[in-house]
């Protein structure tokens, strides 16, 4: 039996320390295997019986993602994060840099703007009472021509919802790009489920 799994590459932009804490913890809980390095982190998961190797590339800004094209080569999803407790953070993304990113990567994947309530999640005192609203996030999502917009108030349910959206979209695309490979991957996934049944947590 061929061990066929899919490779899903995600770029996450924003504060690396916060994003690592928020986005990695959930994948660790669901992963069969985890590899963490300075260049990228890899999580081997099973989602809807399909084995997926999720590679995550962290960057402070979108320019860093663009400049590291030779290392990253391809992205299936991009997550742009905003600190909702900092009203200036919403202005860190511009339409021209989004267009440069799209052109550099020939990007046709899932694009998401995510507002994170850092002060609530990490129990930090906000510097001001003002915060980036849901309306502002949605408005910026439309302006940047991104696909989805989310808010994160907790590190469990909200983050899992974002991953589910990405994984569902990814599986939908590859199921219809090659039905034969998809079925082989599914069979391998079912074998892994039987072998690791007690160890696997499901999304």
**Exposed / middle / buried, residue 180 (Cβ in 10 Å: 0-12, 13-18, 19+):** exposed
Q: In the prediction, which pLDDT does 200 show?
A: 65
- Count the Cβ atoms, other than its own, within 10 Å of residue 85: 23
State the average pLDDT over residues 28-34: 90
Q: What is the pLDDT of residues 58-89, one digit of tens each?
A: 999 999 999 999 999 999 999 999 999 888 88
CA torsion 182→186→192→193, rounded to 10°? Answer: 150
Task: Give the single-character DSSP code of 58.
Answer: E
pLDDT, position 199: 64
Q: Which domains does the chain have, with CATH numbers?
A: 6-195 (3.40.50.300)
Under DSSP, the state recorded for 199 is: T
């Amino acid at each position: 039996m061929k061990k066929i799994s899919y490779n899903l590459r995600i770029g996450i932009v924003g504060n690396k320390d916060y994003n690592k804490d928020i986005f990695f913890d959930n994948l660790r809980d669901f992963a069969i295997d985890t590899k963490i390095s300075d260049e990228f982190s890899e999580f081997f998961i099973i989602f809807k019986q399909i084995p997926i190797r999720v590679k995550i590339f962290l960057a402070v800004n979108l320019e860093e993602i663009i400049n590291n094209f030779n290392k990253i080569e391809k992205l299936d999803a991009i997550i742009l994060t905003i600190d909702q407790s900092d009203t200036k953070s919403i202005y860190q993304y511009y339409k021209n840099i989004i267009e440069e990113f799209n052109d550099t990567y020939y990007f046709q994947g899932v694009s998401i703007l995510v507002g994170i309530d850092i002060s609530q999640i990490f129990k930090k005192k906000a510097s001001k009472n003002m915060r980036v609203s849901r309306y502002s996030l949605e408005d910026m999502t439309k302006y940047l021509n991104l696909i989805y917009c989310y808010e994160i108030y907790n590190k469990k349910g909200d983050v899992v919802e974002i991953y589910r959206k990405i994984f569902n979209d990814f599986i939908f695309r590859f199921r219809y790009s090659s039905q034969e490979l998809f079925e082989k991957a599914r069979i391998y996934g079912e074998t892994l489920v039987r072998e690791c049944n007690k160890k696997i947590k499901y999304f």
